């Protein structure tokens, strides 16, 4: 039998934001690695499409709106009761808006922080509940962004919410270490996804070229990010916690 250090057989993983993009690709990959996957998002039809792409058996979808932040721990307990206790969770769901400071309103800031940051706090709180996490080690992975590390025009609230998420990762890693829970994040740059296609639609060819030029080895793919997430879920990263894995094709190095 071939040894696979990233084997996830026998593990139950929760993936939020699995309707498309990075969340969908992560779900597909970890199912191929043997995990049983519970996926979440707001659109049931898109979740059904993701389920159809997964390998193996025992997968299920559980539509949920993360805007209902206070209910997340209860919702996780319900999912664990139905599908079994979780060995890991990947928090991909999030909101990105480009809003210049001159028109940025408090409601937009509150929404961005609630969906991108507060939901992560409550997901971690729910994951560590008795009866929700399987005995032994557990792994939480948050989807951050290089926007939480470097600045750009028009993304003040978004960048702040992602920077907060990266800070949360470090603090939770220390707090939950005694419980055997590792907490890490990935911080991607632009990847070829549905979101990037929507962004490009509002840009000129010159603007697109200028953005792409900032990535020394090119813009990544959702598969690239999913590979990093799977690494952080598997035993390959058993000695890693409190870390942000930057995945940006060299953007922050140039």
**What is the reported pLDDT for 195?**
77
What is the reported pLDDT for 1? 64
**Residue 88's domain is classified under what CATH number?**
3.40.50.720
Inside any domain, residue 91: yes
CA distance 89 to 30: 11
Closest C-alpha to 147, from 160, 131, 133? 160
First to last CA, the chain: 43
Structure tokens at 192: 């070829």
CA atoms of 227 and 96, how far apart (whole Å):
22
Task: Give dist(CA 97, CA 27) in Å, integer.
Answer: 25
Write out the DSSP string of 182-197: EEEEEEE--EESHHHH
pLDDT of residue 176: 98
pLDDT for position 120: 97
Which range of residues forms the domain containing residue 184? 12-189+221-247
- Residue 199 counted as domain residue: no
> Percentage of the chain with pLDDT > 90?
83
pLDDT computed for residue 22 by the predictor: 96
Residue of 179, 106, 193 lying closest to 145 (CA atoms): 193
Q: Which member of 158, 188, 193, 232 is catalytic?
A: 158
Q: What is the pLDDT of residue 200?
A: 83
Residue 205, domain member (yes or no): no
165 found inside a domain: yes
Nearest CA to 235 among 40, 3, 79? 3
pLDDT tens for each residue of 213-242:
999 999 999 999 999 999 999 999 999 999
Could you tell me if residue 211 is inside a domain?
A: no
Looking at residue 239, what is its pLDDT? 97
pLDDT < 70 regions, the chain = 1
Residue 6 lies in a domain: no
Question: Residue 210 domain-assigned?
Answer: no
* Residue 252 resides in a domain: no
In sequence order, what DSSP letters do the residues of 96-147 get, joined into one string? -----GGG--HHHHHHHHIIIIIHHHHHHHHHTSTTTB-SS-EEEEEE--GG
Q: pLDDT at position 122, please? A: 98
Q: Which residues contact 117 (CB under 8 A, 6 or more apart)?
A: 161, 164, 165, 168
Least Cα distance to 117 among 71, 166, 73 occurs for 166
Whole-number Å distance between alpha carbons of 20 and 93: 10
Please tell me the predicted confidence (pLDDT) of residue 198: 82
Three-state DSSP at 86 gives: strand
pTM: 0.95
158 is catalytic: yes
Would you state the pLDDT for residue 91? Answer: 97
Number of domains in the chain: 1
Identify whether the C-beta of residue 44 lies closer than 8 Å to the C-beta of residue 19: no
């Amino acid at each position: 039998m071939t040894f696979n250090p990233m084997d996830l057989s026998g593990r139950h993983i929760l993936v939020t934001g699995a309707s498309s993009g990075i969340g969908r690709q992560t779900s597909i990959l970890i199912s191929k690695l043997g995990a049983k996957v519970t996926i979440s998002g707001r659109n049931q039809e898109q979740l059904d499409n993701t389920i159809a792409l997964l390998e193996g058996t025992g997968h299920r979808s559980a539509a949920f709106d993360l805007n209902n932040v206070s209910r997340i721990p209860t919702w996780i307990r319900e999912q664990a009761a139905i599908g079994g206790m979780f060995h890991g969770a990947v928090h991909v769901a999030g909101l990105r808006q480009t809003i210049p400071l001159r028109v940025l309103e408090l409601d937009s800031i509150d929404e961005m922080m609630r969906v991108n940051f507060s939901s992560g706090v409550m997901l971690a709180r729910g994951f560590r509940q008795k009866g929700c996490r399987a005995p032994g080690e557990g792994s939480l992975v948050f989807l951050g962004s290089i926007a939480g590390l470097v600045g750009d025009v028009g993304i003040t609230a978004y960048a702040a919410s992602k920077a907060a998420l990266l800070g949360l990762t470090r603090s939770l890693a220390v707090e939950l270490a005694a419980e055997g829970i590792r907490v890490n994040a990935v911080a991607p740059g632009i990847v070829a996804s549905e979101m990037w296609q929507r962004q490009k639609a509002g840009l000129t060819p010159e603007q697109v070229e200028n953005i792409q030029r900032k990535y020394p080895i090119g813009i990544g793919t959702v598969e690239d990010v999913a590979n990093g997430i799977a690494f952080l879920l598997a035993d390959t990263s058993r000695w890693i916690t409190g870390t942000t894995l930057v995945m940006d094709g060299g953007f922050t190095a140039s």
